[in-house]
Chain A
Amino acid sequence: MPDPSEGAPRRDAPILQVEGLVKHYPVTRGVLFKRAVGHVRAVDGVDLELRRGETLGVVGESGCGKSSLARLLLAAERPTAGTVRFDGRDVFALPKPELRALRRRIQMVLQDPYSSLNPRMTVGDIVGEPFAIHPEVAPKGERRARVQELLELVGLDPGHVSRYPHQFSGGQRQRVGIARALALHPDVIVCDEPVSALDVSVQAQVMNLLAELQRELGLAYVFIAHDLAAVRHISDRIAVMYLGKVVETGDEHQIYEHPTHPYTQALLSAVPVPDPDAPGLSGQIRLEGEPPSPLHPPSGCRFRTRCWKARDVCAEREPGLEERDGSAHPSACHFAAEEALTEQT
């Protein structure tokens, strides 16, 4: 990888650039005199890049920090350390008015379309609400027409603008959420588990919609999900997280066909495939135990307590996320190497 050179931003320069991002939440004891007794290391040193028009999938199990990462990317919280650059500018160093202007360009779609839409507002008001905060995007007289355009864009009937969320199905509500995210012409949409609350037969509709909108509008997505199959389907590049860190990153083919980090390998082999002839339970890499608490992550490599390759060095030295002899893409394992994933019994 060449060093990013100084000077004018290149055309393929990343729209979002995350460096050394850290977010620790204090755990406090005491009512009157609160004192921190420890820190939950939700995000603990993450580097990421999102290019224009691409989809970056972020996968990991619950507690790995993927949703905390989403909140930081949206500048909804300040990081403990590290930077997020949007279009080359450090988001957390911006003066308030500029941060506000920037927020227009990065939007989000949430998991639960039942709780993320105000039940007392009409769909038209929900989708048009962003215009109240950023009036420069659509003048007052044009807002209704713009909202109807947005509804049409996400495959809803523009005539339903005066309906309430409960009159829509789960999949349609998620479309409303997407229309709201699109209202301000963003460059980036952070999708946090956007389909996991939907019925199986409806998930594909929403995933296809996201893909179409990306082609039409040139959007970049950060697609955060625990469903590895969905992430593979929609992502160009993928980052695998474990206990607040990215353990492996690469393009879709590298991660799913040639994973080199033991955690990625175990994760992929644990996913049940809808095919009775697939290796199934017997062909899995058996991962024992559950992720340790992010309050007290293990020394060295965080995965070593569950890893079958762990040796002394893993407890002593933390492996960096880098290309290695056994891995053509960045992998944070001292012994990164491909492994035959489907050992039959």
Chain B
Amino acid sequence: MTADLKDDPVPAPRPDAPLLAVDDLHVSFRMRGQDVHAVNGLSYTLAEGETVAILGESGSGKSVAAQAVMGILDVPPARIGRGSVRLRGEELLSLPERRRRDYRGDRISMIFQDALTALNPVFTVGDQIREMYRVRRGLGRREARDRAVELMDRVGIPSAARRLGDYPHQFSGGMRQRIMIAMALALEPDVLIADEPTTALDVTVQAQVMRLLAGLQEEMGMGMVLITHDLGVVAGVADRIVVMYAGSVAEQAPARALYARPAHPYTRGLLASVPRLDRRGGPLVPIRGAPPDPAALPSGCPFRPRCPRAEAICSAERPPPVTVAPGHTAACHFAEEVHGAGPE
């Protein structure tokens, strides 16, 4: 990985540094001789036991950013242009791949939307979990097996010992998701990145998996980065929310503040456009148009073409993040006014 870090030299790990600090992360892809900017300056920090949600639609750059943090982006075609990712103060982007590999699973781990493609179809789930204990922890056969059974029990797989010899396709969607969670948490990482972990699941199973994740997080005290497009899932579990739009951070706030008083027109628009289960309102207020093509972003504010309050300044100048309340920022020229308008 050749991230050219123009900032200060790599700092040593510090116990008092935040668990995870992502700062001004830029990721682009070289496609058809053109740079496509997928992530344009993402910053957030994550503390122990905290859940930060990255909320965005398809193409917002939320998954690419997570892969960059995890160190699993293919470089090239991807390029991490600038920025830093620090785990307890230690810069990850400049670490040699060997060291990074040691960190994956052990310190920072990831689960995905589709467990069927994330698990290896030709090995039993027992093999896949045991392998981790044997390779990474140097455990013997028997011990690795016992730990695997223990772990499968812990994520709620019935008759775990018997199912160790089953292949991924023999499990239901919800059970596969549990197995993937088990594998991600086997080495007790400090940070878990969950990329749309329940999107493919039915709603009752989704609730089970979210409960499981919340319980394990509490037990292990890990920090969680939850990547999702679902405003409902986020509301129930996130401490803080980062709203991404077209590769940039539109708004960042504590969860309650974001829902109660959004300060970015995009966030406001999203909240007004989703139907609510708990009430039947009037017509939905959609956001006009569609998200922009990352290869052809509009000038100035990326949300400008769809924004009801856009003015001349919005196409001329890219809005910097404006702090509207402690811990609450929005990248909008009119953030103060939008925030001042209060709830819908």
Contacts and interface: CB of A to CB of B under 8 A. Distances in A.
Contacts, number: 146
B290 interface: yes
A208 B283 contact: yes
B259 A275 contact: yes
B117 interface: no
A230 B276 CA distance: 8
A271 interface: yes
B284 A207 contact: yes
Contacts of A203: 273-274, 286
Interface in B212-232: 214, 229-232
B203 A202 contact: no
B223 to A, nearest CB: 18
Interface in B278-331: 278, 280-281, 283-288, 290-291, 306
A335 interface: no
B58 interface: yes
B232 A272 contact: yes
Interface residues of B, number: 49
B134 interface: no
A203 B235 CA distance: 19
Contacts of A252: 280
Interface stretch (A31-39, A156-164, A280-288): A280-288
A80 interface: no
A276 B276 contact: no
Contacts of A287: 204, 207-208
Most B CB within 10 A of own CB, among A266, A276, A284? A276
Contacts of A153: none
A227 B206 CA distance: 13
Contacts of B269: 201
Interface in A281-316: 281, 284, 286-288, 290-291
A284 B214 CA distance: 14
A153 B286 CA distance: 18
Given A268-B277, A272-B232, A281-B237, A204 B204 contact: no
A277 B290 contact: no
Given A200-B270, A274-B276, A281-B214, A171 B290 contact: yes
A204 B277 contact: no
A274 B203 CA distance: 15
Most B CB within 10 A of own CB, among A200, A211, A226, A278? A200
A200 B206 contact: no
A229 interface: yes
A277 B256 contact: yes
Given A171-B290, A281-B236, A61 B204 contact: yes
B143 interface: no
B interface, over-half SS? helix
Interface string B191-211: 000000000001111111011
A281 to B, nearest CB: 5
B202 A201 contact: no
A175 B270 CA distance: 20
Interface string A243-275: 000000000100010000000001110111111
A229 B175 CA distance: 26
B108 interface: no
B275 A229 contact: yes
Interface string A217-244: 0000000001111101110000000000
A169 B57 CA distance: 14
Contacts of B174: 290
A273 B278 contact: yes
B204 A267 contact: yes
B57 A201 contact: yes
A270 B277 CA distance: 11
Most B CB within 10 A of own CB, among A205, A211, A230? A205
A199 interface: yes
Given A270-B203, A271-B203, A274-B274, A202 B290 contact: yes
B116 interface: no
Interface string A151-195: 000000000000000000111100000000000000000000000
B132 interface: no
A200 B274 contact: yes
B277 A271 contact: yes
Given A267-B204, A281-B214, A287-B207, A200 B229 contact: yes
Interface in B227-285: 229-238, 255-256, 259, 269-271, 273-278, 280-281, 283-285
A86 B296 CA distance: 49
A272 B259 CA distance: 14
B140 to A, nearest CB: 35
Most A CB within 10 A of own CB, among B175, B207, B214, B234? B207
18 contacts: A200-B57, A201-B57, A228-B277, A230-B275, A232-B280, A233-B275, A233-B281, A234-B275, A252-B280, A270-B204, A271-B203, A271-B232, A273-B235, A274-B234, A274-B235, A281-B207, A281-B211, A290-B175
Q: Sort A-B residue pairs by CB-CB distance and give the 8 closest, nearest first.
A: A272-B232, A204-B286, A233-B275, A204-B273, A204-B284, A61-B202, A274-B231, A169-B290
Interface of A: 61-62, 169-172, 199-205, 207-208, 211, 226-230, 232-234, 252, 256, 266-268, 270-278, 280-281, 284, 286-288, 290-291
Given A227-B275, A275-B235, 5 more contacts: A199-B290, A200-B231, A276-B259, A278-B236, A284-B207
